[in-house]
Each structure stands twice: as C-alpha cells, then as structure tokens.
Structure 1
Amino acid sequence: MSNAVTRATFDQVMVPNYSPVEFIPVKGLGSRVWDQQGNEYIDFAGGIAVNSLGHCHPELVAALTEQGNKLWHLSNVFTNEPALQLATRLTELTFAERVFLCNSGAEANEAAFKLARKYATDHFGADKYEIISCKNSFHGRTVFTVNVGGQPKYSEGFGPNPAGITHVEYNSIEALKEAISDKTCAVVIEPVQGEGGVLPADKAYLEAARELCNQHNALLIFDEVQTGVGRCGTLYAYQSYGVTPDILSSAKGLGGGFPVGAILTTSAIAKSLGVGTHGTTYGGNPLASAVAGKVIEIVSRPEVLEGVRAKHDRFVTGLNAINAKYHVFKTVRGMGLLIGCVLADEYAGRAKDFLKAAEKERLMVLVAGLNVVRLAPSLVVEDKDIDEGLARLDAAIASLVSAR
C-alpha cells in the first residue's frame, strides 16, 4: 500500500461531510504550521479553539510522553491517578464539587442535558423535562445535542426530533421570561456564542437567567466548550461574568489538542448520575487526563490569563487598523482570544472568501457562519506572530478588495 497521500486522497476515501482546505499540515510548533511542501503558516484557528497552548507545547509533550510510558487505558471499571488529579484540580479552581470526564464537547453536553433531566425527574417528577436553549447556539452533533442547538441546518434530515426543546432569542431577557415555566428542567447558554457568530452574552442577561432558573427550580447550564480553559481571559468565562451555573460543560481547549471533555457540577446535582446511569469507555483515560491536567496547570497561571487579556487588545487594535484601511468589518467583537470580525453589508455571506484569501497568504483563520471571520489562536501566541499574522490578513483582505 502506498503511503503517499494528497488532498485528492480525501475525496477518494473519506466520507464527504467535510471540505478541508487544499493544503495538508504535517508539522506544528507554537503558532506556526508547515504543510507537505514545507510552506509555513501562522495559525489563528487553533484547531477551532482546541490548541489552547499552540502546537507541540513542550510541557504537554512531556506530560503525554511520561504518561504514555506508564499507562494508556483502563476503562471506568477502574479509576486512575491522572483522572483523579485532574478532577481534584478542576474542583479547586471552579464552583464544582464533582466532575464527569468524557471525550468531547458533544459528549459533555449530552451528559449535561441527561443529568439535568434526570435531576428534574428525581426531584420534581417526569413532567419537568423541557430544555430552553438559544437561537443560533451550537452544542454538538449527537441527535440530542444538535437539536438542543439552535441552528436547524444541523438537525435537518435526522428526525424525528427529540421533544421538549425550545429556542429563544439570545441575550433577550423577555424571551426567556416568556418561555420558562415550572416544566423547564434546564436553561442552556453559551457565555459567548461561538459557532453562532462570536457574540458575547450581556451580564444582565446571564444574571436574569440565573434568577429565573432559581424561581422555577430549573438548572442553569453553561456550555463552555469553546469559551472555557482561559479562552476568554479567566479560567472559565462564567468567572468573568460573576454568574455561577449549576452545570458547566468543558472540552476543546481542555486537552490542548488531545480529545477530552468534562462536565462540572455540584455534589447535590451529581447524585442523580448514580452507578449505571451514564458512562463512557474512554472517558477519563490516563493519557487524556495527564495532558488535560498539565493544560489546566499552565493556563491557570496568572501570567497566562493576564496575557490572554493583553493579546486580545493587541488583536483588536490591529484588526481595527486593518478595517480603517478597507472597511470590510461592521465590528470586531468577542472576549479574550475568541474574536469575531463581523463582515460589512457589502461582504455579507462571504466569510469563506476571507478564509480562502487568508490561506493564500499562509494564514489559518476560521469562520462562524456566513458573515463572521473568527480567530481562536493559541493563548500563548507570541506578539511577533500576532503582528505577522495580522500583516498577512491585511494582504489577504487587500487582494480580496482589489478583486471586487
């Protein structure tokens, strides 16, 4: 069998649910990536907010290598030291008293929603099962989570849809007031809508959600799969807002590139997931837990979190300077190093054109829908990489504008 593969190989052997860019990365270091031909790229995509410490961070490589020479997998018939150490650290640094470890953001949200319904059934009866989510939200790709998500394009064709899910306008206190009732078991909110356009929540909105959940004996779930682990300038975004959820889902940046997910919750709520009610074969395996433990250790260092906030300002200043030249953005928004550039009306629907133009300038960026260019770089991206990456974005936008 030949080992030579190209982008064309993807179209020959892979299920066509993705449409990757034309180059194949083969090596990464920090915020730089090299393709098969040796071309160097600057990475402002971060694996969709996953590579929280960039590529091949030496402390993560060391943690993975050390654990790889000890113990890879046991299953949850047994526990293991790295999983217990990770869970202990997460409870020390957050509101949580209990942790469930899994493998991805979708799995974390699936567990969170199941826990919310089980808790409601245990305490209030089977009629309290309704979940309120937000329009344009995204919570994963399982049948359950894709329907809790507020983007119908992702759930179409996979029906019948699960019952008991309502979607309301994001950041609308009145819409939430109208929708919530004593049948509501949970309200789920992203502190910053990621896939929905990098749109931060208003503090008053999250405060109102907390109060309404209290009034109706509903649980408040924060989906921090994308916003967590330092991405927004605090370990978790809820800490920036001063609003504490009952359940929090975490993944993406938690493993720094290694697949891992978690839900954080209180002891009282966790009791509803008793022995046998939920599980995962790989969740909490020693390899993932060792890497995630090191990620949490590094990201929670004050200089890293302070750096995220400083780098946010550097990005926004640079992006606004670019926009002053080309007038392609309505606004630049976001928190920390989750940044969205909302396209001006004359470029509406063309976010992927910006991604392709950036690719030609050897810059990796993301989109968030049709109208937002999204940046989610390493939390420790060097200033020189920020500046050079923004220069490449400037060149990409210049070429796009001149081609109009």
Structure 2
Amino acid sequence: MTTYARYPIALERGTGCRVWDTDGREYLDFVAGIATCTLGHAHPVMVKAVTEQIQTLHHVSNLYYVPQQGALAKWLVEHSCADRVFFCNSGAEANEGAIKLARKYAHEVLNIADPVIITAHASFHGRTLATVTATGQPKYQKSFSPLVPGFHYVTYNDIAALETALDELDNGGRRVAAIMLEALQGEGGVRPGDRAYFQRVRQLCDERGILLILDEVQVGMGRSGQLWGYENLGIEPDIFTSAKGLGGGIPIGAMLCKSFCNVFQPGDHASTFGGNPFACGVALAVCETIERENLLANVRDRGEQLREGLRAIAQKYPNHIAEVRGWGLINGLEIKADSPLTSPEIVKVTMANGLLLVPAGPKVVRFVPPLIVTADEINQALSAVEQAFASL
C-alpha cells in the first residue's frame, strides 16, 4: 500500500554510521532508522547476537519461560526505576499496554468508572486507534473517527494549563487517572521537557493519586545522554515505555512499571511475538554494549559538539534559523516561521550532499545519528548542513 512518501533512493547495506544505496552511493546516516539503530549498522555485537540466537531458538511464545526475556527484564529493572516489564513489538504496542494498565488501575484501585488520561498537544504516541487518539496532533487522527474516548489534551510544558485542566475535569465529574507525556517531544519538533514543569507534574500526580506515564520510545535507551529521558528531569515515572533503540533495529517494545501499579493478571494482556528469545537476546546485547562501551559519555560529548556546530550555522543564517535544541543525540534545528525554507526541502538537499536527515514537522530538521557516531562524522554532517543553507 502507498502509505509512505518515500525518498527516491533504495538502501542496501550499511556499516557503522554509513549506508550505501543500490547505485553504490555512500551516505552518512543521521536518521538511524528514526532514532532506532543504537549501534549503527552491522555492529559486530549485534551480528554475533543475531547469529547465535537464530541458531539456537528464535521463538516459542509466552506459554513458557524464556531465559533471554528474564535476563533482559532483569537488566532493565536494575538500570531504571521500574520493578516489572511487559515485552511487545513496538512503541505503539508499549504505549497501548501503558494505557490499558492505567485504565485497569483506575477501575480497580481508584474506583473510576470512566477514567481520563491527559496527554499533550503536539505529542506522538503511535498509530493504533488508542495511541493515535492519545497523540495530540489532529493530522494523524483525520479520517479515523470515531476515536477512542477517554483522552484530554493540554499544552506541553505549561503547568498552568495542566492545573486548569485537572480542576475543570474534576469539576465536570470526569476523573483523571493518568498523565501521559513524552520526556522530550520527538515528532512534535524535538522539544525537551522543562525540568520545573515535570517536577510539578510529579507533585500533582502524587497529591491526586494520578499515575504518571512517560513515553520514552524515541528518547530512551541512551539517546538523551542518560539511559532514560526522565533522568534529565529529576523525576521518576510510575509507568514508562521503550522501543526503537531498545533492540538496535530489531523490533521490540517494552512497557515498564513500578510494583504498586502492576495490576495486570494472567489473561489481561498478551503478545504472541513479544519478548521472544530472538528479540530479547539481541536487545540484551545492545543494552550491555551501551553500558560496557560507556556510550552515554559519547552521546553527551557528540551531542554538545553537534549543537555547538548547528548554533554556529544559525548565527550565519539568522534570517532562516530560529533555534537549535535537544538532548544528547536527539536534536532539532528549527526554521523560522517566516522563512521560505522548509525542513523537507533541507533534508532533500543534504541527501544530495551525502547526509541523511529526517524532518520533525514542516519547520524542524531532526538529527538522530547512531550512538556510536564519531567527532569526525559530526563535523562531516555539519559541513553538509552548512552547504545546504549556502545553496538554498
């Protein structure tokens, strides 16, 4: 089906932060499968893990205990604030699981018959009916009504708007069960969460008995310079989700929670492929490599180098560039609203210069290279971006 507006190249192989198309042309990959290829392409650790696991056992279903699943869950719990993990296949499924868990908690613990989950405008949580409803962007919801009831939207990083919504919903007889936010809005324009805002959100949730859910699908697994985005905000969520970078490009998702809200019982939720030996074996290898090779330090250093370079370009083109923002290796370059330039236009020109980038809306260019990116590769990318602005 023609559901994708594709760029006119076909990629056939890759190594590290570089890929080649079917015509043999080389590109520096600062898309990384949309913030997914944590270790880049054809990383020896992933090649070894994939080979060993497919030669032993790749899938058995969750009718039985899966040692690789247990080992991965143990690593995630030991390296986060969570106590329990549910494995699935994607970010949308992880967020769907979080929504279901929050609703069951609302019914069984909070005694809320018709629970509401607050999410943010400009958010992105997935493409299933529930997660596209949670997504606060009408363009993704168009033509898919009736949407799933039980969601309410507020402005991101605006604590007054959130407090007003909580009061109005309560006064209207609609009880809020959870607040679901991204630690950094990715598809919404690479907008980092404000630390003071999130600390107040955590306080409000504690005061009102509301669950705090954080969507870490794009920003988690080291991309922010911390293992989890919430670590940049000085808080802990009750539930959070992961996918994308968790498997380094092998499909896997996870919904993690603290013990007190772990209300799922056998039969409440399930996944045929979720947590199978193959996906978990590879994901565990990715996690251990992030830790063993201290990739978080590289993410912080290369991210600062990238932002400094982009700010220098912004100073050269003040009529076109509004802002550079981000954490670690998830960064956005925002084009001014009154500039004739658009992010898709810039992406096409940098592609012609051998650099792959991805838009985050019509006016933001997103930079999400593999976490192994080098200083020389950052400089090469900056050169391609500067050439693009010069030519445009």
Q: TM-score, normalised by structure 2?
A: 0.96
In the other structure, the counterpart of 1:224 is 216
Answering whether residue 282 of structure 2 is matched by residue 291 of structure 1, we say: yes
The amino acid of 2:202's aligned partner reads: R
Aligned length: 385
Deviations 1:369-397 (CA, angstroms, capped at 9, x unpaired): 11100010011101111111221222222
For the residues of structure 1 that align with 2:315 and 2:336, how far apart are their CA atoms? Answer: 12
The question of 1:36 aligning with 2:22 is answered yes
Amino acid aligned to 2:39? L
> How many Å separate the matches in 1 of 2:334 and 2:321?
5
1:12 is aligned to none
Q: Quick one: which of 290, 299, 303 aligns to 2:294? A: 303
Instruction: Report the Cα distance in structure 2 between the residues aligned to 1:250 and 1:107, rounded to whole angstroms.
Output: 10
Q: SS of 2:366's equivalent?
A: strand
Q: What corresponds to 1:5 in structure 2? A: none
Aligned with 1:204 (options 187, 196, 202): 196
1:279 is the counterpart of 2:265:
no
d(CA) in 1 for partners of 2:43, 2:293: 18
Q: Which amino acid aligns with 2:261?
A: I
Match of 1:21 in 2: 7
> What is the deviation of 1:203?
0.6
* C-alpha distance in structure 1 between counterparts of 2:259 and 2:340, whole Å: 47
Q: Does 2:120 align with 1:120?
A: no
| Superposition TM-score, scaled by structure 1 size | 0.93
- Offset at 1:302? 6.8
1:143-222 to 2 correspondence within 5 Å?
A: 143-180=129-166, 183-222=175-214
Q: Take 2:317 and 2:114, find their aligned partners in 1: how far apart are those partners?
A: 52
User: Secondary structure at the residue paired with 1:300?
Assistant: helix
Give the aligned partner of residue 360 of structure 1: 352
Residue 79 (1) aligns with residue 65 (2): yes
Shift in Å at residue 79 of structure 1? 2.1
Question: In 2, distance between residues paired with 1:214 and 1:387?
Answer: 45
Query: What 5-or-longer segments of structure 2 have no aligned partner?
Result: none
Q: 1:108 is matched with which residue? A: 94
Give SS of 2:203's match.
helix
Look up the SS of the partner of 1:307 in the other structure. Answer: helix
**C-alpha distance in 2 between matches for 1:23 and 1:353:** 16
Name the structure 2 match of 1:344: 336
Structure 1 Cα separation of the partners of residues 130 and 255 of structure 2: 16
CA 1:209–1:128 in 2, change beyond 3 Å: closer, same or farther? Answer: farther
Shift in Å, 1:78:
1.3
- Aligned-residue CA RMSD in angstroms? 1.2
Quote the Cα distance in structure 1 between the aligned partners of 2:312 and 2:234. 32
Q: Do the aligned partners of 1:360 and 1:396 also contact (CA within 8 Å) in 2?
A: no
Name the counterpart of 1:10: none
Matched, 1:374 2:366: yes
1:316 alignment counterpart: 307
Are the aligned partners of 1:46 and 1:52 in contact in 2 as well (CA < 8 Å)?
yes
Q: 1:98 to 1:348 in 2, by over 3 A?
A: farther
Unaligned runs of 5+ in 1: 1-14
Contact kept in structure 2, 1:349 and 1:370, CA below 8 Å: no
